[in-house]
Amino acid sequence: IVLTQSPATLSLSPGEGATLSCRASQSVSSYLAWYQQKPGQAPRLLIYDASNRATGIPARFSGSGSRTDFTLTISSLEPEDFAVYYCQQRSNWPLTFGGGTKVEIK
């Protein structure tokens, strides 16, 4: 399953909201996760099964969607949220990741 993330880059200011998209080439039901990665660091799980926040993840992060279309929403960007975000499906083998969306400071 191919996961296509858009946009590739999102230029925003702190305090603004962010909407990131992940589209699957076929249905993954709700088996989609979102990760955040900062330079030189390992990925960090944010959301799993489309809308479940992982432990310790702030409420400003939310996920929605099902089947082929998914969204990660950051309600109000904090300085530490500028990073690259990846989606990942666990519906079909092999597990696959999207190409990433970079959220950069405008």
Q: Which chain residues interact with other proteins by CB under 8 A? A: 31, 33, 35, 37, 41-45, 48-49, 54-55, 86, 88, 90, 93-100
If you write DSSP's letter for every residue of 30-99 in order, what string do you get?
A: T-EEEEEE-TTS--EEEEETTTEEPTT--TTEEEEEETTEEEEEESS--GGG-SEEEEEE-SSSSPEE--
Nearer to other proteins, 68 or 97 (CB): 97
Nearer to other proteins, 65 or 98 (CB): 98
Nearer to other proteins, 26 or 76 (CB): 26
